[in-house]
Chain A
Amino acid sequence: MHIHQFNPTLSSGDAISNHVAGLQTMLRAMGHRSDIFCEIPPASAPARSRSPDEYEAVSSPENIMLLHFSLHYSDRTLAWLAGLPDRKVLIYHNITPPRYFAGINNTYFEAAGRGYSQLAELSALTEAGWGDSGFNAQTLRRAGWQKTGVLPIAFDARNYAIPPAKKTEKLYPPGANVLFVGRVSPNKCFEDLIVAFYYLKKMRPDARLLLVGSTHKMTRYVDYLQTLVARLHVADVYFTGHVSRADLAAFYRVGDVFLSMSEHEGFGVPLLESMHYGLPVVAYHSTAVPETLGDSGVMFRQKKHRAVAALLDLLLADEPLRQQIVAGQRRRLQDFSVERVRIRLEQLLADLGVD
């Protein structure tokens, strides 16, 4: 059977792009013919893609097209999809609510708003909607989908078999490194990370806060964060910007604890990455975070910054406790193995009548 995928574009190192590539491998291993179609040709990508114009040759009501959706589609794409006779399933990766971008990045504000308003239209075009978390699937039900499912993002350790950048490892030797990985975006509440670190720095003068993620198109927000750092006179806060995969591996290696204050996550791939690299995860209990952590990690329900700092201080001092947390996380990580996600994919396809 033909089961193809559509994503507006692909880019190297992007979690969704890796997920699309991984799904293609799974679908082909199941014996299906599977290609990836992108509206914008990718500059570099983890998998080869084709243009939507090429789809006409293979289009058929017998096919299934998996549509990856994480912000919004162009009018041209929507019109193209509406005209396809193929069966369609939406795979929803979450849209950050527009309110987080108001006054910070109006382009994202409008794009996110447009995306939310497109969900209702997409629910009419597709026969099912899959979220990569129960949280995302719930959003689809609210938007009108009757048939929903959960297809988690698979964690493939082979994608992380990269030698860490030695230079980065030397710059930030482990000991008291608090790490957060994720693009600098208001929903991830970097300001709360900084305030918690302010208190930790008083308890542990040798602590560092490593904020690893792209600052692209978030100038105003980054200005706010850097001004906050200056006003609080807190040292050793590092914004790395976008980093290479080798540098990312190095940051995870030198990190001692992963801290998230994010208020909105659709899944949280860095949580899985932290589990893989053996960093205990301390996270604000919100949206999809508890679901991804499952029965592992440490969460808190209120942002009491001093108390969070005391918790980090405790974990940094207590190696046996850290290892206990990490052991639980390693068990949880197995639930996102390629094999388990493949079984889940087979179940979801079976629900659609695919053998």
Chain B
Amino acid sequence: MQQDNWLEIPDDALDAAQIQRRVEQRLAQHPAGDEPAGAESPAGVMAALRRQMFGPAEEAEEAAAPLPPLREADIVPRAYHIDWRNPVLGPLNALLRRFVNLEIRRSIYPALEQQSALNRQILAELRRLRAENEALRQQLDSLHRLDE
């Protein structure tokens, strides 16, 4: 079984090639494990169990990421400002835009305010649940330590 560039032996006093040959001889003497045909390899068991217990790595990282600050729960565009640069048509354009904006505000803003309030409530509850979850884990940890 070729193990090219597998071993890294920086000590010049050691014969790296010979050591690698002797490892390969030992592998030949001890064929791959006696797992039943079709059974998962130990490395496979390791990986599958990890996924089962912790979920895929990317999902776990996403789930553990810091929650956004409360101010980001607010999705109402409160700082929207209508202005103009053109000295003649500018004021007319701004007037029209203000009128349209007023109508949009009347129809959509209540929904945005409601969503923002819900976002804040959910974020606050998430923070509370995370803190509670972590406290429970630590209690479990100390119970495990008592068992040791």
Residues of A bordering B, CB below 8 Å? 98-99, 101-107, 109-110, 113, 191-192, 194-195, 198-199, 202-203, 215-217, 219-220, 222-224, 227-228, 231-232, 241, 285, 290, 293-302, 304-307, 310-311, 313-314, 321, 324-325, 327-328
Contact status of A300 and B6, CB under 8 A, knowing A103-B54, A307-B23: yes
Contacts of B53 in A (CB 8 A): 220, 223-224, 227
Query: What is the chain B residue whose CB lies nearest that of A195?
Result: B42
Q: Is B72 an interface residue (CB 8 A)?
A: no
- For the A-B complex, the count of residue pairs with Cβ-Cβ distances under 8 Å equals 142
Q: Is the CB of B64 within 8 A of A106?
A: yes
Query: What is the chain B residue whose CB lies nearest that of A189?
Result: B46
> What's the nearest-Cβ distance from chain A to residue B131, in Å?
10
Q: Is the CB of A328 within 8 A of B14?
A: yes
Complex Cα gap A296–B100 (Å): 75
Q: Is the CB of A113 within 8 A of B9?
A: no
Interface residues of B in 116-148 (CB under 8 A from A): 130, 133-134, 137-138, 140-141, 144-145, 148
Query: What is the chain B residue whose CB lies nearest that of A240?
Result: B148
Q: Is the CB of A216 within 8 A of B33?
A: no
Partner of A219, one of B22, B34, B63, B144: B144
Residues of B bordering A, CB below 8 Å? 1, 3, 5-14, 19, 22-24, 26-27, 30, 32-34, 42-43, 45-46, 49-50, 53-55, 57, 59-61, 63-64, 66, 130, 133-134, 137-138, 140-141, 144-145, 148
Q: List 7 A-B contacts (CB under 8 A).
A: A106-B134, A194-B46, A227-B49, A299-B8, A302-B6, A310-B26, A313-B30
Contacts of B64 in A (CB 8 A): 98, 101-103, 106, 109-110
Q: Is the CB of A191 within 8 A of B50?
A: yes
- 3 closest cross-chain pairs (CB), A and B: A103-B60, A102-B60, A103-B54
Complex Cα gap A107–B141 (Å): 13
Contact status of A228 and B54, CB under 8 A, knowing A110-B66, A324-B13: no
Q: Is the CB of B140 within 8 A of A219?
A: yes
Q: A191-B46, A223-B53, A232-B45 are in contact. List 13 more A-B contacts (CB 8 A).
A: A99-B61, A103-B64, A106-B64, A198-B42, A202-B33, A216-B145, A219-B140, A219-B141, A241-B148, A306-B27, A307-B3, A311-B7, A321-B14
Q: Is the CB of B27 within 8 A of A324?
A: no
Contacts of B42 in A (CB 8 A): 195, 198-199, 232, 305
Where chain B touches its partner, the secondary structure class is: helix
Complex Cα gap A324–B18 (Å): 14
Where chain A touches its partner, the secondary structure class is: helix
Contacts of A285 in B (CB 8 A): 8
Q: Is the CB of A327 within 8 A of B54?
A: no
Contacts of B23 in A (CB 8 A): 307, 310-311, 314
Partner of B43, one of A195, A295, A325, A327: A195
Contact status of A231 and B6, CB under 8 A, knowing A99-B57, A104-B54, A324-B13: no
Contacts of A222 in B (CB 8 A): 144
Contact status of A328 and B49, CB under 8 A, knowing A99-B57, A113-B66: no
Q: Is the CB of A102 within 8 A of B26?
A: no
Contacts of B50 in A (CB 8 A): 191, 224
Contacts of B5 in A (CB 8 A): 301
Q: Is the CB of A295 within 8 A of B10?
A: yes
Q: Is the CB of B57 within 8 A of A216?
A: no
> What's the nearest-Cβ distance from chain B to residue A312, in Å?
10
Q: Is the CB of B10 within 8 A of A228?
A: no
Complex Cα gap A203–B23 (Å): 12
Contacts of B9 in A (CB 8 A): 298-299
> What's the nearest-Cβ distance from chain B to residue A238, in Å?
13
Contacts of B148 in A (CB 8 A): 241
> What's the nearest-Cβ distance from chain B to residue A324, in Å?
6
> What's the nearest-Cβ distance from chain B to residue A229, in Å?
11
